Structure 1
Amino acid sequence: MSTPTTARAIAATAPGPVGAETSFVEIDLDLPALEPHDLLVEVRAVSVNPADVKVRTSFDGGPRVLGFDAAGVVTAVGPDVTAFRVGDEVYYAGSPARPGSNATHQVVDERIVGHKPTTLDFAEAAALPLTTITAWETLFERMGLTADSTGTLLVVAGAGGVGSMVVQLARKLTGVTVIATASRPESREWALSLGAHRVVDHRELREQVSGVNWVFSPFSEGNVETYAEVMAIHGHVVAIDEPEGLDTLPLKSKSQTWTWELMFTRPLFDPESTAQRDLLDETARLVDAGVLRTTMTRKLTPITPENLRAAHEAVEGSAMIGKIVVAAG
């Protein structure tokens, strides 16, 4: 079977709102020659994250193929690929430096690709990579948690995409007490089902929470003073958002720490690292062992401009529980 040289992709031809005619356009995409560590993947499912929305509304130039999360099948490998072969089922979050996953085929570096969990289908697997990498790096690299760690972790938006994985990983792989924030009955139940010990309303943190050792923050604007108050001395916030003009000075009096987490740091600045492949492979092992579960809560088929637009609308609505996936079939 010959290796395809083009892919059918869905791209934004200009930055704009979700309803713009230019936001989801089918195009023919020339596939690059494979670099030594590249895989060519036939994409079977993708999921949509807030990062996709951000790129769609703010990229330069065009057209821009959107999408990070994907699951699919390897159809060709570069000459130095060692961890995969043609026919392998994989999942990954890609890199903003390359065209996205909303295409029939995608070229991706093997060092940021994991072997898909065997107990999940492609749609269920596509829900996991970006949020799992973010959650894993937050807990085990930024916060430095281990299986022996104790204390209290506050997971803001515990029913969201990343929050859902932070709750699962913290509950299953550490000894910390996990408190999630959620305000609706359905999001509270979701967070509890994933392993949260307690769920509190984010609007009542000062009244319900104290002595927190770690905070995971996807929504930091206006919350720094609250975090400083509810955290213990030497508390540690890890944030994934980027509010303009953020002032972290309220953390000083208790010698508290603010750290950023961006899961694209390794693909962009440490491309030879296999750490993300390793953690995705370990995640697959944990999923197949029944320790972790997919966070897919909604699936659309097939992968069309209309369904991708609907998925972006759902993510922009800020009421998502878990993840939305768009699958080929």
Structure 2
Amino acid sequence: MKALTFKRYGKSPDIGFTDVPRPEPKADELLVQIHAVGLNPIDNMIPTGLFKPVLHFQLPATLGSDLAGVVTAVGSQVTRFKPGDAIYASIFDLGTGSLAEFAVVPERAAAMKPTNLDFVQAASIPMVGLTAWQALKERLNLRAGQKIFIPAGSGGIGTFAIQLAKQLGATVGTTTSTGNMPLVSRLGADEIVDYTKQEFDTVLSGYDAVLGTIRGDAIEKAIGILKPGSKIVSLVGPLDAAFARAKRLNFVLTFVFGLMSRKIMRLAKQRNVSYQFHFVRPDGAQLNEIGKLLEAQRIQPVIDTVFPFAQAKEALDYLAKGRAKGKVVVKM
């Protein structure tokens, strides 16, 4: 079968199509014929080697982690799915990829595709949906009446997280460019800062939570808009020692990640604010709950561009430009 792979880490990862063996499902896995793949920024970051100490692949490795497709075979221990079922899933951090004609998916990571979504729409959801769900509900414990800052509101994670935060009853602040202000307003954002005209930390105040989605000094600036006792959950780093311990990394990496996060931890402590880095995990049960919100049309997919499988590399290049409104999807 065909798969989009990278052969090495670094500046020349040699990304291209490769003929690879069709995977065989283990006892607890599904074999899925893939119909669509949602792309995420980390898909472009993995070949650089940035996450090599944390994410383990056997090279050449297949890119991609989000998928929607049809089950073609199941392992002997699978009880919730059967051949012919339409499913969606994230296989992030499971050592395999989804930009291929077929993929194996652990039963625990899969959920039935929402009935009102096509495969392209469904494939756009898993990583952003799970990331937002885990960050807002588990890490931030976001409650009705609280205020959360979700920068880059028109991006893949922003468009979903804004909608989920509104479902949880929160007030949402965000940043976006002039042209995308109507989009984020339509998604439910309450306070919108046009970053081409203003700095968000000079406009916003009194927030209870921040979802870090932008690299650079945005997270440090966000500390200034928070109330004492508030929380920051970052999806973009810096990585921290707690993350290293949760991943059971060695002492050296735990020490290094502690050094990486030392500045933000110090700044947060000065404001009586907590900081933590979050790495999404696959979870079919959570995708099932997210699917209910999608079927009820309380959350809607936001898709920028759909590329054919033959242009999957071009799709990654387009995503890397950072201008997509919502998600970029590859259709098989």
CA distance in 1, matches of 2:20, 2:165: 42
Matched to 1:195, the amino acid is G
Given that residues 13 and 47 in structure 2 are in contact (C-alpha distance below 8 angstroms), is that contact kept between their aligned partners in structure 1? Answer: no
Deviation for aligned residue 1:223: 2.9
Deviation for aligned residue 1:212: 0.8
Aligned to 2:32: 41
Matched to 1:27, the amino acid is D
Query: Number of residue pairs matched?
Result: 302
Aligned to 1:29: 21
2:225 to 201, 213, 230: 230
- Which segment drifts farther, 254-263 or 218-227? 218-227
Deviation for aligned residue 1:220: 4.4
Aligned to 2:137: 140
CA distance in 2, matches of 1:21, 1:98: 17
Given that residues 92 and 113 in structure 1 are in contact (C-alpha distance below 8 angstroms), is that contact kept between their aligned partners in structure 2? Answer: yes
Matched to 2:276, the amino acid is T
Given that residues 16 and 22 in structure 1 are in contact (C-alpha distance below 8 angstroms), is that contact kept between their aligned partners in structure 2? Answer: no
Given that residues 218 and 241 in structure 1 are in contact (C-alpha distance below 8 angstroms), is that contact kept between their aligned partners in structure 2? Answer: yes
CA distance in 2, matches of 1:151, 1:161: 23
Aligned to 1:250: 267
For residues 151-230 of structure 1, what are the structure 2 equivalents within 5 Å? 151-172=146-167, 174-185=168-179, 187-202=180-195, 203-230=198-225
Per the normalisation by structure 2, the TM-score is 0.86
Q: Provide structure 2 residue ranges, at least 5 long, that are not aligned to the other structure.
A: 240-259
CA distance in 1, matches of 2:316, 2:2: 20
1:324 to 312, 316, 328: 328
Aligned to 1:273: none
Deviation for aligned residue 1:29: 2.5
Deviation for aligned residue 1:85: 1.0
Given that residues 92 and 129 in structure 1 are in contact (C-alpha distance below 8 angstroms), is that contact kept between their aligned partners in structure 2? Answer: yes
CA-to-aligned-CA distance 1:100-133 (integer Å, 9 cap, x gap): 0011110110101111111111111100000000
Deviation for aligned residue 1:16: 5.0
Given that residues 224 and 250 in structure 1 are in contact (C-alpha distance below 8 angstroms), is that contact kept between their aligned partners in structure 2? Answer: no
Aligned to 1:73: 70
Deviation for aligned residue 1:163: 1.2
Matched to 2:15, the amino acid is S
Percent identity of equivalent pairs: 29
For residues 252-267 of structure 1, what are the structure 2 equivalents within 5 Å? 252-264=269-281, 267=282
Moved segments of 4+, more than 4 Å: none
CA-to-aligned-CA distance 1:229-286 (integer Å, 9 cap, x gap): 111111111100124834111111221011221113xx5xxxxxxxx21221122121
Matched to 2:149, the amino acid is L
RMSD: 1.8
